[in-house]
Amino acid sequence: MSAPPVGIVGGGNFGWGLAHAVERAGREALLWSRRPQRTGTEHIDLVSGPAALAACELIFFAVPSPYVASIARELGAHLDGGHFLVHISRGVVGDDLHGLTQVLRSETPCRRVGALAGPLVAEALITGGPSGGVVASRFPEVRAAVREAIGGPLLRLYSTDDVTGAEFASTAVGLFATAIGFAQGHGLGPAAQAMLATRAMAEAARIGVVLGGKHETFMGLAGFGDLLAAVAGDERPELAIGRAIAENQPFEAIGSIGGTYFEGLESAGRIAAYTRRVKLHSPVITLCAGAFAREIPASEAVAALMSREVGEE
């Protein structure tokens, strides 16, 4: 029995990157996008509606997090318990900071769900350059299906069952990349950036553990691995957004750099509210939330970060 096609929802860079990775792995890809922007290839079929994706077993969600729920609802009407859904979005939902796998579960009949996290970038997926990531799912067969669909010698995919940790780490990295861009915009050097990144990740890990994740996930590809890629300059928009915030550019101008600004703004606010509620110490994320929303002047945010009391690591 031949392997079924792999579905991809979303026609942005990541959606196309995944489709090319599927093609390279010798599988058929079905890509559904309201604005596909490009034309299909021999092994990448553009489909006009969600119904066609019912033929797939594994379906990737490569859409910005605010759209995941509505698209999942539309697609869910055509799926059943046999489908596997895996998203690549950063973001948390609700007061209790649920990951987007929860959205996939509540909007579709699918339960075998997962998240793809880590330093994967669209460019490497498209060109087939060396890259890697981590696939998180409570279901070993989902983790195996993702590796079969896009993995290969140059795309190393590790796996974990810590979905909560991987999703939260991925969201936190988005915020911290912005914070590092912000620090760069203020002329802070490598040592200060490293300090910020390290303390921020320790903070994210503390929150992640309270949410039910594992500390080591934050020290792996989904956490530090991803953040290192951002700092090393993999051209993700968050750094540019951070620098634009530091320069006090208007909201609209920052938003035009990438939709991730608005996602980050929302996530930072949610996480800060959560840590206030459960009394978790989260100075970096709280400052991120304030600075992103322009409630704290940029100069004050930097001063506040540097003037914090020094304690045991």
Which listed residue (57, 147, 156, 228) binds another protein by CB under 8 A?
Answer: 57
Q: Please choose, out of 126-134, 169-177, 195-203, 277-285, the segment that lies near another protein by the rule CB under 8 A.
A: 277-285
- Hey, how many other C-beta atoms are within 10 angstroms of the C-beta on 294? 14
Q: How far apart are CA 197 and CA 193, in angstroms?
A: 6
Which listed residue (89, 131, 137, 217) binds another protein by CB under 8 A?
Answer: 137
Q: Please choose, out of 47-55, 179-187, 249-257, 276-284, the segment that lies near another protein by the rule CB under 8 A.
A: 276-284
Residue 206 in contact with another protein, rule: CB under 8 A: no
Beta bridge partners, 30, equal 7, 45
Q: How far apart are CA 86 and CA 88, in angstroms?
A: 7
Q: How far apart are CA 225 and CA 109, in angstroms?
A: 33
Closest CA to 192 of 38, 305, 33, 283: 305
If the CB atoms of residues 76 and 119 are measured against another protein, the closer one turns out to be 76
Which listed residue (24, 43, 138, 156) binds another protein by CB under 8 A?
Answer: 138
Q: How far apart are CA 241 and CA 238, in angstroms?
A: 5
Decide: 45 and 29 in contact? Cβ < 8 Å: yes
Residue 80 in contact with another protein, rule: CB under 8 A: yes
Q: Please choose, out of 106-114, 188-196, 261-269, 302-310, the segment that lies near another protein by the rule CB under 8 A.
A: 106-114
Cα-based distances in Å from 297 to 72, 253, 268: 38, 18, 16
Which listed residue (10, 36, 76, 264) binds another protein by CB under 8 A?
Answer: 76
Q: Please choose, out of 14-22, 197-205, 217-225, 271-279, the segment that lies near another protein by the rule CB under 8 A.
A: 271-279
109 phi/psi in degrees, rounded to 5:
-80, 0
Which listed residue (140, 152, 250, 297) binds another protein by CB under 8 A?
Answer: 140
Q: How far is the CB of 163 from another protein (least distance, A)?
A: 10
Residue 49 in contact with another protein, rule: CB under 8 A: no
